[in-house]
Chain A
Amino acid sequence: MTVISAKSLDLTFQTNDGPVQALSDVSLDINKGEFVSFIGPSGCGKTTFLRVIAALEQPTGGSVTVNGMTPDEARRARAYGYVFQAAGLYPWRTIEKNIKLPLEIMGFSRAEQQERVNNVLQLVDLEGFGKKFPWQLSGGMQQRASIARALAFDADILLMDEPFGALDEIVRDKLNEELLKLWARTDKTICFVTHSIPEAVYLSTKIVVMSPRPGRISDVIESNLPRDRPLDIRDTPEFLALAHRVREGLREGHAYDE
């Protein structure tokens, strides 16, 4: 079942230095339960594409549907949770209150809010930290809390824009592993932007390789790795072959440039 469908998307920003074509003729279908990674050099439109899906940007051409609706309608139907590159927790709210933020706005009852907070805190392995303020947590824990916040209201799409980009490799590995488990448990559709080839290959069922100026899709790679992935799958020949193909795709995108 197709959850997100983009057809010949175009998006041109009008800037003071003239128009910038952030997306050019982007077409992509994402099915329910898929884990899709977007990879490509800076400025190739990964963030912009995610923001179009989230109705934070309006495309200048083409069309997108999310759950068969326009992005605007989908947002009002609470179709997605968005995780930004920085955790973006409000510093004056405790972790618990941060997770309650969307719940308050969406009008859940107090009892239900608390129940959901407890559930998602457990899901991201942060039980016992609900009463702490964000600055009392490490960067990795803050990012987990922000994922919990995106999970709290049962959106079945998770849009993640380089969520682990600012974290060190060891924390990142652990969070990647946990994210996969979480994905397996919750059956969500995940769109995940990354700069890292191993991260993209390790996590995804589908890898979308993008290239810049204008931002476009240069390759879509379906992963043949099993769904159940221990960390050391990264040393198998299948994994390395996939990583190689992604690297080739990225290089081609660049060659096109010069």
Chain B
Amino acid sequence: MAVTEQHPPCALCVATQKVLAAVLPVLAVVGVIVAIWYAAALGMNRGWTLDVAERQGVELTRGEIWRDAMVQERPRLPAPHQVAQELWTTTYGEDFFRERRGEMRANPRSLFFHAYQTLAPTILGFVIGTLAGMILAVAIVHNRAMDMSVMPWAIASQTIPILAIAPIVIVVLNAIGLVGLVPKSLISAYLSFFPVVVGMVKGLRAPAVMDMDLLRTYSASRIETFWKLRLPASVPFLFTSLKVAIAAALVGTIVAEMPTGARFGLGARLLTGSYYGQTIQIWSALFMAAICAAMLVGLIGFIERMTLRRMGLDR
């Protein structure tokens, strides 16, 4: 009788297969996006190429048009490799510090330096906004008067188009001598505050009537009810809010960097880039901002997973 031998699948092969299964779709999507991007860059930049050629009275082949459209100094839409190159040379290609007039100073040509200039107020503002939001949420849940009076204001405050009035706020704060970190942090604190209030109030109110009744049968105090029931129940809600809040904080900082012609920060890079028509610089700053946002949200997602696992809440 012929027996076909069944090899157990080797662990490494299985792992590789799993990784490939997870990565391939992502790579495919990225590939498509890059292809569309190249096509768009060609379409948007060839006009300039043709103009120049016409003025010089030369005929260009298709290949030459292609090549020129991909390497312009100030393209309408930079090609992916131009952005990648710019990102590389302004990060790893530049030192974070450099010597200037005999002193070591931060190097404004380093994109890392600008990212840092944006991240510091983002994180500070996020922490302030989160703490304020949590404290307010606790007050709202425990005090009817607070609930009736403050909650409508918290909601109304969000109808203020902060992105529109941020310039005013920044200019006013600058006028009274507040520059740099603090004004930027205030804008990002403001933007991260609201999602935290809403999420935290929802979370603190999440416990079922029965969970509350159980504590009543133990004659538990409000403080005990808070620590043993409301707060733990709010943790998953809080993390969901934090992910929204940190992204909002980053946007807030970047917007806050624009109006006063700040010299440092990703917002400043966007501004000077557009001022001098440096599209490549604009796009690399945009990418750096996206990378920062992804890292911040990813970091909070990681902390979330660890916390929920420790709490037995992730299955």
Contact = CB atoms under 8 A, between A and B. Distances in A.
Interface stretch (B185-193, B215-223, B278-286): B215-223
Contacts of B315: 135
Nearest to A94: B312
Given A104-B228, A105-B228, A56 B213 contact: yes
Contacts of B213: 56, 82, 84
Interface in B217-260: 217-220, 224, 228-229, 232-233, 235
Nearest to B315: A135
Interface residues of A, number: 22
Interface stretch (A31-39, A85-93, A184-192): A85-93
10 contacts: A82-B217, A84-B213, A88-B208, A90-B228, A91-B312, A93-B312, A101-B218, A104-B228, A105-B218, A105-B220
Given A90-B229, A92-B313, A84 B210 contact: yes
B214 interface: yes
Contact of A92 (B215, B218, B224, B232): B232
Contacts of B215: 105
Interface size class for chain B? 20 to 34
Interface string A74-115: 011000111010101011111000000110111000000000
Interface of A: 54, 56, 75-76, 80-82, 84, 86, 88, 90-94, 101-102, 104-106, 133, 135
Nearest to A81: B217
B146 to A, nearest CB: 26
B54 interface: no
A88 B216 contact: no
Given A84-B210, A88-B210, A105-B224, A75 B217 contact: yes
A56 B312 contact: no
Given A92-B311, A135-B315, A75 B219 contact: yes
Which 10 residue pairs of A and B lie closest in terms of their CB atoms, listed nearest first?
A: A133-B312, A92-B311, A82-B217, A105-B218, A92-B232, A102-B218, A105-B220, A88-B210, A84-B210, A76-B219
